[in-house]
Amino acid sequence: MRNRIFAGAALCVLSLCVLSVAHPVLAQSATDQLEAVAAGGGLPTANIGIMIARVIRVFLGTLGIIFTIVVLYAGFIYMTAQGDPDKIKKAKDMIKNGVIGMIICLSAFSITQFILNRLLSAAGAGGSISSIADQYGEPLSGSLGAGIIDSHYPERNAIDIPRNTRIMVTFKQAINPASIISGYATSSAATDLNADNILIYPTAEGDGSKLAASEVLVTTNDEHTIFVFDPVPLLGDGIDDVNYTVALSNDIELEDGGSAFSGNYSGGYEWTFEVSTEVDLTPPKVVSVIPRSLASAARNVTVSITFNEAMDPVASTGTYAEASSGNLTNIEVLDGSGNNVEGTFAISNGYKTLEFTPVDACGEDPCGDTIYCLPGSDDLTVQAHAASLTDEPPQAQAVGVSFDGLVDAAANSLDGDGDGKAQGSSTDDVTGTDDYAWSFETTSEIDDTVPAITDMSPGIGDTFADQDADIEITFNVAMRSSTLNTSNVSLWPDPWYEFWFSTRKTDVADEDGDTLYTTAQISHPTMVSSDDEGWMYFPVVTRGVKSNAQICMFPAYGPDESGTGVCDVTEAYPYCCDGVSSDEACPTSVEGVDLPDTSE
């Protein structure tokens, strides 16, 4: 009977544990009110949940001591029974029941210990899910990466931004320009800011000091996915560094009329950056190209050009089509006869890399996506044109709302020869004074090499990772920059909280200038410290990433879980999940949010 009482007591404790966490929101609300009343009456203000949990801990500890004494006493009876069968049976029964009681007690203690830690955390004595999220989360930030925003410039918390910078935002879906440009609904030529939905202001002064509609010139690309905001007055004051806030309202609409900000990110988006006292008068330069000059490349190569700084996306992106009157000519791809190759230029990699996609479909990759090819067995030339200059070079002369050549985020014209001076473009139709041009030849072949991940940092299952260091994912070949976006390369906390991320890439070339491979970087806020329970984070790379030859990553070759081998993927097991091959797409959800679909 005594042992049954002990076991029953332990089960009661377990029931109390379950009841104590059944309604955490109501419990939190109740304890908040009790604490307020207690404080007003001079009573103790300790969290009632913590007090209960502490009582439970003492009670269970006492039960443990009692069960230990019972087992020791039973052992004493057994050792002194001297062959008496009744005493031996009694001792065995006591030991058996004591062990059962101990197991129940220890189980209850473990569960209660876990609950107590959570209760202590909720009261500030440790880190609960909600308090950790409050500590590490950044309000109105999650739309970058996880939500509607793929990239923006200046970046979050950037410093030393010049006073004459443009502010640029890239959305993942087409946006209704009227929700960003004032008057656009009645005239597509409108350029004033919709100052109700886009707020730009000195952080310390609040949104009451926001730039007015007429103080910001707004331009957008043809697809209405990229918007450029050009403040008419210089930002800052020229004396002290000034922190600015850009806030995007949740009234911004998709082109189909739906809300751009929804679900977990329905509040909108905002970020800050610091403006220096300087004006940027340094022209942009080219740092690398693919294919390199005079190279021989497969005809499905992606032509790309990377600059040393962010470029104005409206002046550098667009389409060339023979039947179109609004062709992009600021950068051109010419065939061996000097004719423009039809296709589209897109910008990525933090507005630093331009890539050209031709219109000639020439095959499919392993995912069934179309591959587009340049003219085969031909000599091609790429020309990146500098913009015309104002009377104050390197500043470029605006042509309407844009430019007749490539300019950086501060409207400085391209420095094609890299001498540090912007000289603009001449009237020569072939090449200008400061244009940048290179040539290469194509073969008739198609490069079908499937990209693979060769290294990751942190590795699979690593602990004590650097809280602030970028996540790095290295591929075995040069990758197509525009596919290394936040839809295909992402980072998720588990459990989820307001968390942003953005992607960039670095190409590594040999001494001849041929790009050997690409490393993708995922930037993110400070991750939860191991001192605060060290939450799990999940980098996800979908098969939407493509090589520079437009081949998707399928099967998903990559490091195995040991970090010393290769994930053994096959056509039957084409996915690699935490370093283990799988015939099903990797798990695509964490607590509170869905991850990108790795089967697409």
Give yes or no: residues 428 and 292 share one domain: yes
Residue type, 111: I
User: Which two three-digit tokens encode residue 321?
Assistant: 């089509």
Which residue range(s) make up the domain with 551?
Answer: 453-594
Higher-confidence residue: 508 or 47?
A: 508
Confidence of residue 41 (pLDDT cuts 50, 70, 90): very low
- Based on C-alpha coordinates, what's the Rg of the chain? 32
The mean per-residue pLDDT over the stretch 256-272 comes to 95
Domain boundary among 208, 242, 275: 275
CA 172, 177, 179, 181 dihedral sign is: positive
pLDDT attached to residue 53:
53
Summarised one tens digit per residue, pLDDT across range 1-28 is 444 444 444 444 434 343 333 333 333 3
Asked if residue 61 is part of any domain, the answer here is yes
Asked if residue 388 is part of any domain, the answer here is yes
3-class DSSP state for residue 274?
Answer: strand
pLDDT attached to residue 569:
87
Asked if residue 47 is part of any domain, the answer here is yes
Helix (H) or strand (E) holding 90: helix 85-122
Percent helix, percent strand, percent coil in the chain, to nearest 5? 25, 30, 50
For helices 2-20 and 48-79, what crossing angle results, to 10°? 160
Asked if residue 63 is part of any domain, the answer here is yes
Give yes or no: residues 458 and 513 share one domain: yes
Residue type, 558: G
The mean per-residue pLDDT over the stretch 347-356 comes to 98
Give yes or no: residues 540 and 577 share one domain: yes
pLDDT attached to residue 81:
78
Say if residue 73's pLDDT is above 70: yes
Say if residue 493's pLDDT is above 80: yes
CB neighbour class for 233 (10 Å; exposed up to 12, middle 13-18, buried from 19): exposed
Give yes or no: residues 116 and 215 share one domain: no
Q: C-alpha 61: how far from its chain's center?
A: 46
Owner of token pair 């437009």: 550
The mean per-residue pLDDT over the stretch 258-287 comes to 97
pLDDT attached to residue 216:
98
Summarised one tens digit per residue, pLDDT across range 121-153 is 444 444 566 788 888 999 999 999 999 999 999
User: Which two three-digit tokens encode residue 218?
Assistant: 């707004």
Say if residue 228's pLDDT is above 80: yes
Give yes or no: residues 290 and 271 share one domain: no
Asked if residue 131 is part of any domain, the answer here is no
Give yes or no: residues 437 and 459 share one domain: no
pLDDT attached to residue 17:
40
Give the range with max mean pLDDT: 127-131, 297-301, 558-562.
297-301
Say if residue 94's pLDDT is above 60: yes
Q: What are phi and psi of 130, to 5 degrees?
A: -70, -40
Give yes or no: residues 459 and 567 share one domain: yes
Asked if residue 6 is part of any domain, the answer here is yes
CATH number at residue 172: 2.60.40.1220
Summarised one tens digit per residue, pLDDT across range 390-414 is 999 999 999 988 999 999 999 999 9
Give yes or no: residues 427 and 457 share one domain: no
Give yes or no: residues 257 and 309 share one domain: no
- Asked whether 285 and 311 are in contact (CB, 8 A), the reply is no
Q: What are phi and psi of 183, to 5 degrees?
A: 85, 0
User: From residue 327, how far is each of 374, 375, 428 by CA, in Å?
Assistant: 18, 20, 19
Say if residue 303's pLDDT is above 80: yes
Give yes or no: residues 167 and 305 share one domain: no
Higher-confidence residue: 433 or 190?
A: 190
- The total domain count for the chain is 4
- Asked whether 500 and 493 are in contact (CB, 8 A), the reply is no
Give yes or no: residues 120 and 157 share one domain: no
pLDDT attached to residue 61:
67
Summarised one tens digit per residue, pLDDT across range 360-379 is 999 999 999 999 999 999 99
pLDDT attached to residue 46:
45
**Predicted model pTM:** 0.79
Asked if residue 138 is part of any domain, the answer here is no
**Average pLDDT across the chain, whole number:** 86
Give yes or no: residues 14 and 107 share one domain: yes
pLDDT attached to residue 15:
41
Closest CA relative to residue 302, chosen from 359, 253, 237, 357: 357
pLDDT attached to residue 130:
75
Q: C-alpha 18: how far from its chain's center?
A: 37
pLDDT attached to residue 5:
44
pLDDT attached to residue 124:
46
Say if residue 64's pLDDT is above 80: no
- Asked whether 351 and 409 are in contact (CB, 8 A), the reply is yes
Asked if residue 133 is part of any domain, the answer here is no
Residue 157's contacts (CB-CB under 8 Å, 6 or more residues apart) are 271, 272, 273, 274
pLDDT attached to residue 2:
46
